[in-house]
Amino acid sequence: MALLVLNLLFPLVVAKAPTVYEYTLEYRFENRGTTDFTLTEADVAIPLFINTTGTAMRLVEISHDYRTEVMDDDGNKGIIVDIDLTLSPGEEESFTATYEIMSSELEVPEFTLSVAEGFDEIQSELVDEYCFSTETFPSDDPMFYDIASGLVDEEDTVLESVSNLVEYIVDETTYCNYETPQYPNNTLANHLGDCDDQSILLITMCRSLDIPAYLQVGIYVHNAINDQDSSWDDHLTNNADGVAWHGWAMVYIPPWGWVPVDLTMTNADSGLELIQSAPEYNSNIIPVLNVSKQPYIGGTLEARDRFINSSVYVTISDTAKVNYSADNPLQNYLLLGIGAALLVAIGLMFKYGNQNKAY
């Protein structure tokens, strides 16, 4: 439980009046082959979101019975839907879940170098918990330390160090959307990557310097999103109406604590300005899952291969609308669209995504 508590901290951040969203998630599985196919429990698992300083979620309705379990090494909870896991030739199975999400805009801390603190102010417990090397964040690879250490000076504060790493990645990487998340060495070598790819690279470099960091994945709500996309050799179709999936880094920067760092959804002239203008303080970006220990990349690649080599086709539909806004209390709006890529790319839990994310 200590991991979950630390993950959800937003020190010095104050929530404003909430907006209430209705979010609906629908899955459909079709066996177009001539033999039975058995789904796994991970295939029929959907997230229960994480409650933070600014967000709270409740499950309003679900079409089937279900059970709640801890789904991965990072303590994220999800629902395992009770459907028949064996699909006969020509058979379809589907389920729908509707959530109510309260999300508040958060006060943005004033990140100033005069207040920033050094590496000595990072607790050793956080270094132990969030700086080790994993399948997704191979921070023990000396390549990442060599590059990261060359971008910072010994007397730099943590804020200055992270700002320098951010500037390096933004300058060296062009946005490119892949249908599975990329390993950080590939992002570094190809100078290409989308939101979670660039975040994974930043997290890996931070961890190599003993700066605690992890990946956070969530939904981005915007009424302009309406899309349909296919990937995984057409075995995965994503329909989106008002909701896009997005990934960003959470970095521990004293004295402010855990800070969202978004490399792709905002423009900035400096690393410090980018940190200051993170869109995650807005109410329409809602955290869903934390990724620190689990095999986020490897799990997604395994799921992709399993479905491509099968006769099963999956359709995931995301829709969202505003039920209540303090700014517009009498109006309902359609919200956001696609990105089941990230929903499905969370380790062994949500593995169908096609990486059509917000940015």
pLDDT in tens, 70-98: 778 999 999 999 999 999 999 999 999 99
pLDDT one-digit tens code per residue, 143-165:
999 999 999 998 999 999 999 99
DSSP code string of 125-167:
HHHHHHSS--SS--TTSHHHHHHHHTTS-TT--HHHHHHHHHH
How many contiguous H segments (helices) and E segments (strands) does the chain have? 9, 16
Pairing of strands 92-106, 174-175: unpaired
d(CA 143, CA 15): 40
Residue 357: its pLDDT value, please? 56
Please name each of the domains of the chain with its CATH number.
2-344 (3.10.620.30)
Q: What is the predicted pLDDT for the residue at 55?
A: 93
Q: Residue 138: what residue type?
A: P
Provide mean pLDDT across the span 217-237. Answer: 94
CA distance 222 to 49: 19
CA atoms of 303 and 305, how far apart (whole Å): 5
- Residues whose CB is less than 8 angstroms from the CB of residue 106 and which lie 6 or more positions away in sequence, other chains included: 10, 13, 14, 15, 16, 53, 54, 281
Predicted confidence at residue 324, as pLDDT, reads 73
Judged against a pLDDT cut of 50, whether residue 355 lies above it is answered with no
- Mean pLDDT of all residues in 16-25: 89
Flag whether pLDDT at 108 surpasses 60.
yes
Cβ atoms of 201 and 187 within 8 Å: the answer is yes
Which letter does DSSP use for residue 63 in this model?
A: S
